Structure 1
Amino acid sequence: MVFKEQHVDAYMVTWKLEREFGGMTTVCTQRAAAFAERHGSAAVITFAPNAQIPQIAEELVERGKLSPKVKVLNPYLYLAEHDLQPQERIPGRKAEPAHQDFTLSDSVRHPGGTGVFCEHSVAGPEGEVRQTAYFRNDGTVFLTDTKFHDGKHRRILEAFDRTGMLVARFNSAASFYRYWLSQIVDHPDSLVVIDSKFTAAMLASWKTVHVPKVFAFHSIHVAKGQDLATGKLSKGHGPIIEERANWDAFVFLTRAQRQAYVERFGNPDSAFVIPNPLKPSFLQPPEPERGATDLIVAGSLTPNKNVAAALDAVHELSRRGKHPTLHIVGEGSERDALEVRAAELGLGEQVVFHGFSDQLPRRFASCLAQLFTSTNEGQALVILEAQAQGCIPVSFDINFGPADSITDGSNGFLVPHGDIQLMADRVEQLMDDPALAARMSQQARTFAREYQSRDLVSLWEETVSIAKLFKKKAATSDVPHFDARLSGVEFPAGQGLQVKVEHHADLDALSADAVFELVFVNRGSKEELASVPSTGVEGELAFFDVDPQLLGEIPEQDTAVDVNLRLRVGKDAEDKRLGLPESMILPYFTTQKNLSFRPEQ
């Protein structure tokens, strides 16, 4: 284990830290706590400007939500005490605001009135130019952030030293964040994990010298209801996967999700599996009595959690003469609709909305079973949290989490997605058979205890060590950056195809032995079936003539064949999945060989 005997500076990167947060931030803080326990300290890095971060962190420590060994770093609070490294060359402004006669509109002070955090000013007859100035603790300005519109949305961030001299300029907030982040974390002993999709989108073009860029997937990477192999990517993950060449490693929570990603996009060497940490929870005595008919749903009340299905299951149990009580723990946009739905089903006092709770382990310990009805997940850590308290999960079998934690009939039940009747059957089975319930409850506890004993810190350290090796290898590769976008298809005489692909590679950087190839891969077996070298390269286009005889020789015609663009330079080669350019309409051919279009979903 490469990092076993050396100190590691571990940084978990997200967008913001609030007093109340969901599963992704919980994992971020718990992972930081695990590293802090191993190495003495760790940090959660946020970017959202917020003067209350120190107070929020203090409250979270008091509530047991944040380890006292974990620091919370933020550029706006950090630069109030430390200097920003000057840029070697300060770039010019891309545009100038039409008005610069700024008038103070309001200010934000640090909690307790210990000084000014920032001041907001406006300029122009309608206040169309806005500027925020951020202050050091000594009262000097370290950053101004100016926003205006001149046909394009513009942003200029300028950093100053304590004498007021300009030391850095950025034409976007993202470039400011990347510059500051490099100053903080880019050294040989660092381990950096980006948890937030929003933050990851800003860090795609972040160039690091020492530290690998690692993104952790917390949820499914395709849009709701989409096929894993061909479906549209989720709104948050799509841009990250499209920029996968700019990342050193992707970490998935389950083997199934990694497999789905690799089968579609390749890159197995940079795809890893590390499950989420599970924080041990100890109940203060007395331990609550477990209700024989008490059920629980825990999590954010959002459409993806599909809590309405749990209400339907409770309604079905009531129809059968059972009288369960469903405890709903959490808040979210769906709460009002769920309360209306519960009333429509006539469930009345059988459904209790608890809102947010710091006593979730005690809630689990008091309930017979957990109903897990999400439409998709990354891992579903809340299932493990329920199992740790002997609460038996009854879950829809969805991508990707439940099956990794539940052995059907042993430490929980798995039912087909959307099968309300079978979910009710399984809960009824537990209610009617106390011996079965007791046995499964104990097996759930045992599984969670074994899960908690896993050394996930070492697994992260080993993963990042491997990513560093690949990062060094990529730095010495002769293959430059290139894209793989279908530009057009023509049908010349002879019934073949001519395929045009946009590659965007720097032709001047390519050696004479560089070759583009189209590579045909069996989606099921991953066997390379054939490759076609380009017949010519003009500018950013590569041309390929595909002989119908070649396609006719590809076996297993009922199996999908995927197409990659390969750039081979000497002994080095890299493949990228051939994709379509961004478009609101997508062409396709019917089985009668007629051309049709459909809007992008």
Structure 2
Amino acid sequence: MEERVFKRDQHFPEASIYGLIGGIPEAFGGRTSVCLQRANAIAELDDRHIEILTLSPNNGVDTEGLTERLREEGRIGNRVTIRNVWSDLRRADSHDLAQIAGHSSQSITIDPTQPPEYDGSMEAKEVGSAGKTLKADRFREDGSRYNSYRRGGRGIEKSSVLFDLRGRPIAQWTEQYELYFAWMDWVIGTDPAIIINDGPPLARYLHKYQRKNVALVQTIHSKHSADPTKRSQRLGWTYTPALQHVDRFDHLAVLTESQRSDLTALNYVMDNVSVLPNMTTAEPTRKIKPRRTGAGVMLARTTFLKRIDHAITAVHRAQQAGIETTFDIYGVADEAQESLESLIGEIGADDTIRLRGFDPRAKRKFEESSFTLLTSEYEGQPLVLLESMAVGCIPIAYNIKYGPADIITHGVNGFLVPPSDIDAMAKCIADLHSMGERELLQIRKAAIKRAQDFSPGKITSMWGKTLTQVMANKLPPRDIEGKANLVEHFVDGNEMRLRVKITGEAATNPTWALLRWTERNGKRFGRLPAHGEQTAGQFLVTASAHTDDFASIDRGFIDFWIDLRVDGQPCRLRIKGAQELEPTAFAQAELYSTKFGSLSIRYESSNPESATV
């Protein structure tokens, strides 16, 4: 990889920038690729060094080797380094260990007199029947133990313990992520810093990493629910943690304007989100190579999510209509491989539709292909479209959430097809085949021009402006004191209306207010529009809810909160003051007061003994 790829044309904030991801496996997908690509682009553009922090023990044995391999593959340049918590802890000297341990104030309870036996492995782990780690001990090369983790339960205290070079415990934390935080504090220090997190599961605890000098940026790489436009639709588990705690992040980055619009319409996000698309490093072609009009190609792992069977069927139907076309599919074999092979055999298309398998040079096939197909159930922002367009390969894509419509202008630089409409895709292939060379050339040129809007220089410049603003807006984290008390409520069939009084510091001119509901013993939640106003020295919030808003819940309990932004800080208050509320029927559930006077809903099948929170 060349030392310099981009000209320096954008100022980034005077802060260290770190990437964060759970781990980097041997074979990885789009999210990891984007993390590496972004880090490298920022490092090259701004002439700075960037570290990507990883937490997986699998990356802790040979982090230098991983860094070197990624450089040899062209994934990163010399300004980007992979760093791992376990590698650092394993090799830390006494001084560094003491500094990391200094971030713990918890008493040490582990018994150091009974260490596990060292058998030469870097890790000794016990996994339960559910696949979760029950305990793990990690060792240095000399056999001394540097970390002990216990999941807890059955009389065993939950803990993560750090040991000195002689195997003596010097610090203990209750949660494993608290050890991660101590390591991050040691790595980052007190200078201004930005962490860009590309690991969705990490959001469930990363939002707690509140430091006055560190800005947290969370990314979303895919759609957030099966039907992202409906309030009643369940959120996907992948991004639930990020959206649950979105106000605790300094910024949320999504890939497309359409996703930001959907998230905003459903009140999942308010004032800390921006659109930062993926970039493509594909070099725009200067001279469009001649190619057969009927030559089609697709780059996709053979998963059911990609619905490659739709693409194969569409090509076959175009062939049956008399169109001379071929279709080559490149990608790692996955769970749909066997069924796709059977489909090709059943329709007798072995000579014209081929599964080519993985090819590291597959992207070059776009240069000699006329069109490509995208038939996925959903995407975040499909880079494969930009890679094809950059060299004049015309995309024909299902108009799915998200990405295709944000990239393709139908009939100008590609084609959009209604989701799952195989016949429409087959017709599009046929229409493309019937076009003249001049018309096709026009579309190819428009596709190349559109791909340039996602060049590393342009997208990295957008990141620079956003991160500069994030750091300018960064406030020292603090808790906002306040209370939310129910003033009035009204239930009419499937609808209820609430009026809530906010007191304390939280009542001091909030920027916005929302009604939040959460599943008590689960992860589901939602936020509903609310109106706030200052009245006679009080701040009153009014909101309404319909039973459809809770359609993802059919049992158990729902609790209510008010979410606010006060003086730039997030604030969440449980709605109290419901002691006088008589249980009120609300469709198949009832509105009631817990024994602590909190406002909740319980469903008829719920256990009354659990209704006291």
What TM bracket, shorter-length normalisation?
A: 0.7 to 0.9
Paired with 2:529 and 2:152, the residues of 1 have a C-alpha distance of: 52
The within-5 A match list for 1:367-516 is 367-435=369-437, 436-452=439-455, 454-472=457-475, 475=477, 479-480=480-481, 510=504
Map of 1:178 onto structure 2:
181
Q: CA deviation at 1:102?
A: 2.9
Aligned residue type for 1:68: N
Q: CA deviation at 1:345?
A: 3.2
Is 2:394–2:444's contact at 8 Å kept on the other side of the alignment? Answer: yes
Aligned residue type for 1:134: F
Q: CA deviation at 1:91?
A: 1.2
Is 1:10–1:43's contact at 8 Å kept on the other side of the alignment? Answer: yes
Cα distance per residue 1:46-81 (max 9 Å; x no partner): 110122443333222222122232100101122333
Paired with 2:570 and 2:565, the residues of 1 have a C-alpha distance of: 7
Paired with 1:310 and 1:530, the residues of 2 have a C-alpha distance of: 50
Q: Kindly tell me: are residues 18 and 566 of structure 1, through their superposed partners in 2, closer, same or farther at Cα, counting changes over 3 Å?
A: closer
Q: CA deviation at 1:5?
A: 7.1
Map of 1:200 onto structure 2:
203
Q: Over the residues paired in the alignment, what is the CA RMSD in angstroms?
A: 4.6
State which of 566, 587, 590 in structure 2 corresponds to 1:589: 587
Paired with 1:496 and 1:413, the residues of 2 have a C-alpha distance of: 43
Is 1:515–1:533's contact at 8 Å kept on the other side of the alignment? Answer: no
State which of 156, 159, 164 in structure 2 corresponds to 1:156: 159
State which of 81, 84, 87 in structure 2 corresponds to 1:74: 84
Aligned residue type for 1:352: R
The within-5 A match list for 1:120-159 is 120=124, 130-135=135-140, 139=142, 141=144, 143-147=146-150, 150-151=153-154, 155-159=158-162
List alignment gaps of at least 5 residues for structure 2.
1-7, 128-132, 517-527, 547-559, 576-584, 589-601, 607-613
Map of 1:20 onto structure 2:
27
Map of 1:36 onto structure 2:
43
State which of 265, 269, 279 in structure 1 corresponds to 2:267: 265
Percentage of pairs with the same residue: 23
Number of equivalent positions: 536
Paired with 2:370 and 2:565, the residues of 1 have a C-alpha distance of: 59
Paired with 2:338 and 2:390, the residues of 1 have a C-alpha distance of: 30
Map of 1:333 onto structure 2:
335
SS in 2 for 1:384: helix
Paired with 1:514 and 1:7, the residues of 2 have a C-alpha distance of: 33
Q: CA deviation at 1:168?
A: 2.1
Map of 2:107 onto structure 1:
92
- Confirm whether residue 102 of structure 1 aligns to residue 101 of structure 2: no
Q: CA deviation at 1:249?
A: 0.9
Aligned residue type for 1:120: A
Paired with 1:61 and 1:496, the residues of 2 have a C-alpha distance of: 58
Aligned residue type for 1:220: K
Paired with 1:95 and 1:177, the residues of 2 have a C-alpha distance of: 19
Paired with 1:368 and 1:597, the residues of 2 have a C-alpha distance of: 59
Paired with 2:506 and 2:353, the residues of 1 have a C-alpha distance of: 71
SS in 2 for 1:67: coil
SS in 2 for 1:348: coil
List alignment gaps of at least 5 residues for structure 1.
109-117, 537-541, 552-562, 580-586
Map of 1:245 onto structure 2:
247
Q: Kindly tell me: are residues 255 and 322 of structure 1, through their superposed partners in 2, closer, same or farther at Cα, counting changes over 3 Å?
A: same
Cα distance per residue 1:143-170 (max 9 Å; x no partner): 2223365338865322223344433222
Cα distance per residue 1:537-578 (max 9 Å; x no partner): xxxxx9999999xx9xxxxxxxxxxx9836697x88968799
Q: Kindly tell me: are residues 467 and 518 of structure 1, through their superposed partners in 2, closer, same or farther at Cα, counting changes over 3 Å?
A: closer
Q: Kindly tell me: are residues 518 and 414 of structure 1, through their superposed partners in 2, closer, same or farther at Cα, counting changes over 3 Å?
A: closer
Q: Kindly tell me: are residues 320 and 263 of structure 1, through their superposed partners in 2, closer, same or farther at Cα, counting changes over 3 Å?
A: same
Paired with 2:309 and 2:70, the residues of 1 have a C-alpha distance of: 31
Cα distance per residue 1:405-441 (max 9 Å; x no partner): 1111111001111111111111112222242322211
Map of 1:304 onto structure 2:
305
SS in 2 for 1:157: strand
Q: Kindly tell me: are residues 122 and 242 of structure 1, through their superposed partners in 2, closer, same or farther at Cα, counting changes over 3 Å?
A: closer
Q: CA deviation at 1:278?
A: 1.4
SS in 1 for 2:266: helix
Q: CA deviation at 1:88?
A: 4.8
Paired with 2:495 and 2:199, the residues of 1 have a C-alpha distance of: 46
State which of 60, 63, 66 in structure 2 corresponds to 1:56: 66
Paired with 1:519 and 1:532, the residues of 2 have a C-alpha distance of: 15
Paired with 1:384 and 1:19, the residues of 2 have a C-alpha distance of: 25
Is 1:520–1:531's contact at 8 Å kept on the other side of the alignment? Answer: no
Paired with 1:543 and 1:528, the residues of 2 have a C-alpha distance of: 10
Paired with 2:484 and 2:189, the residues of 1 have a C-alpha distance of: 27
Paired with 1:225 and 1:6, the residues of 2 have a C-alpha distance of: 37
Aligned residue type for 2:54: T
TM score, norm. by length of structure 1:
0.76
Map of 1:9 onto structure 2:
16
Map of 1:114 onto structure 2:
none
Q: CA deviation at 1:364?
A: 1.3
Paired with 1:577 and 1:347, the residues of 2 have a C-alpha distance of: 62
Aligned residue type for 1:174: Y
